[in-house]
Every structure is written in structure tokens, then in C-alpha cells.
Amino acid sequence: MQPDQATQLRQLESQLAAEYQTILSKKLNLDLTRGKPSSDQLDLSDALDGILKGNYIAADGTDTRNYGGLDGLPEAKQLGANIMGVDAANVLVGGSSSLTLMFQVASTAYLFGLKDAASAWKNEGEVKFLCPVPGYDRHFTICEQLGIKMVTVPMTSTGPDMDAVEAAIKADSSIKGMWCVPKYSNPTGVVYSDETVERIAKLGKIASANFRVFWDNAYSVHDLVDNAPQLASILEATRRNGTEDSVLQFASTSKITQAGAGVAFVAASAANLAGFKKALGAQTIGPDKVNQIRHTRFLPDRSALMAHMKKHAELLNPRFEAVLEALAGAFEGTDLGAWEKPVGGYFVSFDTRKGCAKETVRLAAEAGVKLTPAGATYPYGKDPEDRNIRIAPSVPTVPEVVEAMKVFVTCVKLASVRQEIAALA
């Protein structure tokens, strides 16, 4: 390092530190943490309230106010099919959370087996799941809760690194599952390529018995642009490859209607659904079908669904633009950070230089901008390179996102320059 370079770095640091002091004096209180709909987005579904007008009877004559219907109303299965692009016959409609369904399916596979008692993962000693990283923290929590060991594989711009996935599965028969968020992945926002989908559908041929992919299609209809990227059908790919039992798909209306008060779905082969229903029937007499029918009256077909999602996009788009413009303005052409440019979903994922994520999040928090804790996108909360930060811009207003991103940019720069200066010592 030349002395003049060191001087330049110190000058830059004091300039950034001054900017940071100005930000501190504003005493901001902004939040870019969890991906949830804004109240404007929630307003879009207010018609759900009172939509039944006393008519509780489903198309097949079921009185939705009563017990029963473990796998859901036929029209609610069709809603799930419209969201996931599968056949209604393959859909089970659960309660109001897809995360709960994922936990229930994983617990069933672990304790009781999705096929029969002999297929239960608990019989096989150590159980491991492949976790593409960065990924969704609540998936990792399910694994932790069940004592499933997590093995990371890198995410790329076309989905999980499939060479790494296949190599891990071939080398280790204790790998019994894999998490996937195939469209607008949480957090990187990428859509799996056709080749990735095909290779995932083939995993059932090379994996050990009872391997299951948890295909969490939480953002399947959550496009921000008109000509949205198409996700290839994993169902068709598994049918082509004779591996239908190896994939279970999940979705919900949490980010379509009301978060946590919507309807959740699992789509799977007849064999998987039968295995799951056996365990589910011990837990409940049936789901909330009144909520199911409210949702089917509100979103009666695919075109109503897509028209509704367009309204979400109109509200979300300016917020994403604000994030992406700030990142491009500050970091394009530099080595200070890397990010994808998602055209759907709820997140922008930003990689700082190695070792700068925690410090960036700390600096931002002190300046009144809450970010998801660094490391949260990795199993056990540990990002080995301390690089990844998940930005969730849906809740703040557009001016708030703009303000928060100014802080974010300053904090990334400050953390990076201080790291460089420390390395000089």
C-alpha cells in the first residue's frame, strides 16, 4: 500500500464518517427487515370481509361451517392449482400457513414416513437436508427443530449449484431432503432455470430412498413485471422422469390476500398425499373451510388472481426500484457489493465484501435503519463469509425506502473502507 493510497482511504473514511454523523442526527426509525405486505397491499383484499353474505355452501353442497373435508374444498384445491400450476387433484388445502404445512410434512416424513412406517427418516440415524444459501431462515428453523443437520450448497443466478447438489447426494445417503424457493427465491430473487428444474426432478433417481424436495413456491404469482420469467413445471418434469414422489410443493395466499390469515396448499403425488393425510387426520377434524370459500369467491379463477397480483405489483414496484436504483448508483462497477435484480418476490439480497455484513447491519441499526440480522440467511445464523444482507422493502413508504437506502449505502461504504484501513495496520 502506497502512503498516498493510505491517506486517500483515511480521507474517504472521514468524509463517510461525517455523512454518517449527519444521518445519526436525523434520528431515523426505518425498518427493512421482514418480508410482509404493506397495509396498502392488505387493503387490496378488504372485500374478503363479508363476501359470503350468508352463503356458506360450497359448489358440491358442503356446508363450510361444519367439520370435515380434511383435504379441502374442491374449489379451494382449484385455487391452489391456479397458484401453483398443478392439477387440483394433487392439491391438499391446509390451514392458513404454508410454513405450518412444511413443518407438518417434514415431521410426518421424519416420524411416521410419507409412504409407510418403514420409510420414516427417524429409522435411518442421522438425517440431513441440503440448504441452498443464502436461503429462508424459517426453513432452517424447521430443520433445527427436528434435529435435521443442514448441508449448504451455493445459490447461483440460475438456482442452486446443481453440480454441488448432485455430488452431495451421491456422496451421502443420509441426505433426505432439500429446500427450494424456485421462483423469486428468498432472498436472492432468482428464478430457477429450466435446466435446474429438470436436474432437481432427476434427483429422485440418484438420491437414497425417501428423499424429498420441499418446493416452496411462495412467490409463484408475485411478478413485478408484465413479461415475467416462467418457472418450468416441476410436476411435469417429475412425471417425465418417474420421480413424482420425490417432490412436494407448497404455496399460500399470505402475500396475495392477508398474511397469516389466508389459505395454504401442498401439492404432491397421490402416495405422498395419502401418507400425509394419515398423520394430518390425527391432528385435526378438518381445516377452516369458511376461509377457503371466502378466498375462492374473492379469487374465482386464474385471471382474477393475476389481475389482483398486478395491483400488488403496482404498489411494490416503486419500492423495488428505489432499492435497485440506490444500489446501482452507489455500487455498479465497484467491488463493494454484488446483488441480483429481482423482477418479483419480496427481497433484494446484497453481498458486501467479505467480513462487512455484520458491521454494515450494526452501523445501520445505530443510525435507525433496521435490517435483518447478518447471517440470518444461513443455517444456524452463520454466514461463513459474513457477506449477505437481505433487504425487504415492501412495508416502508417509497420516500422511507429512499431514505433507508441512503443510510444503507453509506454504511456499506463505511464498513468497507474501515476494513481496508484496518488491514493496513
Binding site for ligand PMP (CB under 6 A): 35, 97-99, 136, 181, 186, 216, 218, 252, 254, 259-260, 264
Task: Quickly list DSSP for 102-116.
Answer: HHHHHHHHHHT-SS-
Name the minimum Å distance from CB 8 to ligand PMP.
42
77 close to 88: Cβ distance less than 8 angstroms: yes
Q: What does the alpha-carbon distance between residue 160 and residue 419 come to, in Å, rounded to a whole number? A: 30
Q: How far is CA 325 from the centre of its chain?
A: 23
Q: What are phi and psi of 390, to 5 degrees?
A: -95, 125
Name the minimum Å distance from CB 13 to ligand PMP.
37
Name the minimum Å distance from CB 222 to ligand PMP.
10
- What's the grid cell of residue 112? 411416521
Q: What does the alpha-carbon distance between residue 295 and residue 289 come to, in Å, rounded to a whole number? A: 10
99 or 402, CB closer to ligand PMP?
Answer: 99
Name the minimum Å distance from CB 34 to ligand PMP.
7
Question: Residue 18: CB partners within 8 Å, gap ≥ 6?
Answer: none
Q: Which long-range contacts (CB under 8 A, 24 or more apart) does 301-309 make?
A: 301/82, 302/82, 305/79, 305/82, 305/83, 305/221, 305/256, 306/221, 308/44, 308/45, 308/256, 309/221, 309/222, 309/223, 309/256
36 or 362, CB closer to ligand PMP?
Answer: 36
Sheet holding 348-352, edge to edge: 337-339, 348-352, 388-391
Q: At 422, which helix (H) or strand (E)?
A: helix 398-424
